[in-house]
Structure 1
Amino acid sequence: MGYTVAVVGATGNVGREILNTLAERTFPADRVVALGTDRAVGHEVSYGDDRVLRVEDLGRFDFSTIDIAFFAVEPRLVAAHAARAATAGCVVIDTGPSFRLDPEVPLVVPEVNPQAIAAYKQRYTIATPSPTAVQLALALKPLHDRFTVRRAVVSTYQAVSGEGKEAMDELFTQTRAIFVNDPVSKSVLPKQIAFNVIPQIDGFLDDGATNAEWALNAEIKKLVDPKIKVAATCVRVPVFIGDAASVHVETDQEIGADEALEALRGAAGLSILDKRGTADGYITPVEVAGENPVFISRVRDDSTVENGVAFWSVADNLRKGAALNAVQIAEILARDYLEE
């Protein structure tokens, strides 16, 4: 006997990736249900190489028949249906921002704080961090355990897929329009994204930071250590899949590039590609699409602080940044906390 699983938002970028990941990792599910709203209902989505699921109506669905529900939809749908699912005894794993900073909901990266999953019973809900927080937490955790991270200065370069399928379509149509000399229009992102970068993700706060920049700081505090300070600049770039980050870390203990590399190489969820002096010695977003790890390159000393290193980080934002992280949470939940 296995578990019953629902994927809410099964036709979206993250929902499809969750279904792929469940199948690839042979999650012990006896039944998998694809859920959606409006035009998605009745559509078919793939589950593994040989199974097709027909999308059912989220609004009419009875969650009492489900053990674990992955939510990969916008916050308004989470607000309308997640509590209904949790009240029915189904454990909600939400990949969006709705619960990330809720003190009653565990925020989890399995390689960083798996013990937090035990608190799921308080609300029958578990949150996954933003893709940038997943990526940063995986790198900071081994450095913090060994050297005590005091501060991180981060510039992120985030793919349009983080904004959804509509943003991916906007990048494509704007690029095509430029090539054929048509007018460029925008409706999803705040400025033209084709052949451009936009230093704004989400809305602005009174201090000039964006919500994404503030949230990255708050999520790292919840995931790794509340004493860590994060100064972030989050930038949307004309890339379909794959988030990158330039990170400068300041520590309490003495640290150098070699010591940092040693700590990072031993950490779960990370892959190190660091060969100095060659283009083969670092990795880029286009090279990580479909890959599970967070990749670390260009580890070097930061001479501007007494104890500091800098590095380059890249990950598939739909994979480890969202779907894989959620499925790993479900695997621990099923193995250690739920009864079949």
Structure 2
Amino acid sequence: MHASAFVHRNYIHHPPIFSSCRRVCFASRLRSTIRMSLKEDGPSVAVVGVTGAVGQEFLQVLSDRDFPYRSISMLASRRSAGHHLSFEGREYEIEELVPESFDDVDIALFSAGGSVSRDMAPIAVQRGAFVVDNSSAFRMDPRVPLVIPEVNPDAMAHISLRKRGKEGAIIANPNCSTIICLMAATPLHRHAKVVRMVVSTYQAASGAGAAAMEELKLQTREVLDGKQPTCKIFKQQYAFNLFSHNAPILSNGYNEEEMKLVKETRKIWDDLSVKVTATCIRVPVMRAHAESINLQFEKSMDEATARQILEEAAGLVVIDDRSSNLFPTPLEVSNKDDVAVGRIRQDLSQEGNHGLDIFVCGDQIRKGAALNAVQIAEKLL
């Protein structure tokens, strides 16, 4: 179903709360205001994979950010077609994803897996749609921009609805762990140039989808009740455990998740010389990733300068209270837009202030997926 009438709704946005100053700002925003995102002059939008965790978050972010649209299509597989869902006070019927779904669509937000993207995204482009793809299908395609809006917006500067021709284009959303990492590493990289980065990730269940999140809850109850845990999504117990990321292991000993971080960083920074190594681990956290990042710089970078740079960076919030041992946690950033960074300290193993350690946390479904994609869509307007 396409909606094309104006609609009023209450708009309550929940920004991150990490300091007394931010709490005051947040309190002032709690006053409900009437907003309208359904606009006759807005783009037509399609959400592909709307029933999944990221698809649902697409809708939440579109609503939270008052994204303008004149119509919106809810697309999913045949088994979900015919079901209904509510969005901004209206009832929508979920439609089966077919080539004709993209007739008269301006922006298509994809989160239905790589195979669906490879099959359907080119069709959407041929029919004039601009695709923001959350899968890995096109990330390393040299013709496709790989974009974090706060990091490399210039990569998609040549693409917009105002410059459209007969066909649309594809813009790729980076991997969640890459987005969260580079939100913090990039401002430092701009100042002193990162020559080597060592990343250890602690990745939440949400990265494996809604079913993994449900299985973690189920396993937790089962283990606490003394039962054998159900292991359908992962091959081993997830609750009260951690293990190497479940992505396939490659011939070099790295898994695919780790190599995404390596390759995507180089593409986003447009720097094939930067050295990146990663170890990715699944931890029993619901929806926010944490990452320990060690940076080696070409130029000197002292701790105070790094902290100031991070405090001023868009999309970041610094939580770094040593006296209270208070630093970023996945729980605190869950359902928040900003990536949190802390544990900012000089790397004692490197001389001349050429090394730094930081710890970051970010909501995997939000900034690691849906929010970043919607921010890309906003740049298309």
TM norm structure 1: 0.94
Distance in 2 of aligned mates of 1:198 and 1:52: 41
Q: Distance in 1 between matches of 2:272 and 2:314?
A: 22
Which whole-Å CA distance do the structure 2 matches of 1:39 and 1:92 have between them?
23
Displacement of 1:119 after TM fit? 4.9
1:278: which partner in 2? 324
Distance 2:375 2:282 in 1: 27
Name the SS of the counterpart of 1:69 in structure 2.
strand
Higher share of residues assigned helix: 1
2:285 counterpart of 1:239: yes
Deviations 1:305-340 (A, max 9, x none): 121110110010101111110011011111xxxxxx
On the 8 A contact 1:10/1:45 being kept in 2, the answer is no
Question: Is 1:98 matched with 2:98?
Answer: no
Query: Is 1:333 aligned with 2:377?
Result: no
Residues 75-90 of structure 1 mapped to structure 2, 5 A cutoff: 75-90=114-129
Aligned to 2:96: 57
- Work out the CA distance in 2 between the residues paired with 1:244 and 1:150: 22
**How far off its partner does 1:80 sit?**
2.2
What is the aligned partner in structure 1 of residue 272 from structure 2?
A: 226
For residues 40-189 of structure 1, what are the structure 2 equivalents within 5 Å? 40-48=80-88, 50-59=89-98, 61-120=100-159, 124-189=169-234
Q: Tell me what 1:257 maps to.
A: 303
Alpha-carbon distance in 2 for matches of 1:254, 1:36? 50
Q: Which residue does the alignment assign to 2:239? A: 194
Compared CA separation, residues 11 and 195, structure 1 to 2 (3 A): same
Aligned counterparts of 1:219 and 1:129: Cα–Cα separation in 2: 7
1:285 shift after superposition = 0.7
The 8 Å contact of residues 139 and 172 in structure 2, kept in 1 or not, is answered as yes
Q: Is the Cα–Cα contact under 8 Å of residues 201 and 234 in structure 1 kept in the other structure? A: no
Alignment partners' CA distance in 2, 1:208 and 1:46: 45
- Which of these two proteins has the greater Rg computed from alpha carbons? 2
The one-letter amino acid of 1:21's match is V
Q: Which residue of 1 aligns with 2:45?
A: 5
Contact 2:99–2:124 under 8 Å retained in 1? no
> Please, which runs of 5 or more residues in structure 2 have no aligned partner?
1-40
Q: Secondary structure at the match of 2:342?
A: strand
Instruction: Choose the corresponding residue for 2:363, options 316, 327, 338.
Output: 316
Matched pairs, number: 332
Contact kept in structure 2, 1:106 and 1:119, CA below 8 Å: no
Residue 377 of structure 2 aligns with an amino acid whose one-letter code is A
Task: Give, in whole Å, the separation in 1 of the partners of 2:258 and 2:240.
Answer: 23
Query: How far off its partner does 1:287 sit?
Result: 1.1
Name the structure 1 match of 2:258: 213
Report the CA distance between 1:170 and its aligned residue: 1.7
1:34 correspondence with 2:74? yes
Query: In structure 2, the residue corresponding to 1:29 is in which secondary structure?
Result: coil
Q: Cα distance, 1:60 vs. partner? A: 5.9
Question: What is the alpha-carbon root mean square deviation over aligned residues?
Answer: 1.5
Residue 248 of structure 1: aligned partner: 294
What is the identity, as a one-letter code, of the residue corresponding to 1:97?
S
After TM superposition, give the deviation of residue 61 of structure 1 in Å. 3.7
1:24 aligns with 2:24: no
Deviation at 1:82, TM superposition (A): 1.1
Q: Which shows bigger deviation, 85-94 or 269-278? A: 269-278
SS in 2 for 1:331: helix
Do the aligned residues in 1 keep the contact of 2:47 with 2:108 (CA within 8 Å)?
yes
**Structure 2-normalised TM-score?**
0.84
**Residues 308-317 or 168-177, more deviating:** 168-177
Structure 1 outlier segments of 4+, above 4 Å: 119-123
